[in-house]
Amino acid sequence: MYFHVPDKKNSELLGSINKFAFILGDTNMSAVVFHVSEPVELVVDGIGKKKFITSFCKNQFLASENFRPYANKHGVYVFSLRSGRGFTPWYVGKTNGKNGMTQECMTDHKVNKYNEAMRLSNGTPVLFFIVRPGKKNVASKKIVADMERQLIQDAVSKNPRVFCTRNTKNIPAWSIKGVVRSNAGKPSVIESAFRKSMGI
């Protein structure tokens, strides 16, 4: 299975969430393709570090046209704060539920985490959805769990304060500058070439 960033623009935008493209093999050597959504901005009240998501904001977001394409899909979602051209991840979650993202990404428990992130840091709150393309809504629990595990580890590498307790133990204690678990700025030409050659 491989995780696919659909175009160069999105790839650059998601560079801040280290290695938001990866390959996981399965026993059939087949490929299950997931796409990363554009960052979908959340509805909030207030400004600066006084921004917060109310119940009204939550309901507005869930009823919005921007959220509708992802409402019933299985997959992984990432809450991030956008500042300038960059994104900082604060929470990574998954869903395989009957009602997809609708029943999972904006529960009161998750909204509390989003509000806490906005209290700690400035930025525009957004959600990325990593889902099957088109009308393919369903994905296997194992694949989604594998994808969430990988992205949580990447998010922790980018932001050690990320609000995830699962899959944060036993993260490898090594990194490759500009390639794996690296938070050292933009990769060099050589590092970018190596990442491309390795499918990272």
Chain segment 94-152, per-residue pLDDT in tens:
999 889 999 899 999 999 999 999 999 999 999 999 999 999 999 999 999 999 998 99
Exposure letters 5-18 (e unless 16+ CB within 10 A, then b)? beeeebeebbbbbb
Domain assignment present for residue 44? The answer is yes
**Count of domains observed in the chain:** 1
In whole angstroms, how large is the CA radius of gyration of the chain?
Answer: 16
- Residue 23 pairs with which residues in a beta bridge? 2
Domain assignment present for residue 12? The answer is yes
Q: Supply φ then ψ for residue 22, to 5 degrees.
A: -155, 170
Containing structural domain, residue 93? 3-169
Does the CA dihedral 174-178-180-182 come out positive or negative?
Answer: positive
Domain assignment present for residue 182? The answer is no
Q: What is the pLDDT of residue 175?
A: 74
Domain assignment present for residue 70? The answer is yes
Q: Supply φ then ψ for residue 84, to 5 degrees.
A: 65, -125
Strands 34-36 and 40-41: unpaired
Domain assignment present for residue 20? The answer is yes
Q: What is the pLDDT of residue 187?
A: 83
Phi-psi category of residue 161: left, alpha or beta, with phi > 0 → left and psi -120 to 50 → alpha: alpha
Whole-structure pTM value: 0.77
Domain assignment present for residue 113? The answer is yes
**Positions of the chain with pLDDT lower than 50, given as ranges:** 1-13, 15-29
Q: What is the pLDDT of residue 92?
A: 96
Domain assignment present for residue 17? The answer is yes
Domain assignment present for residue 74? The answer is yes
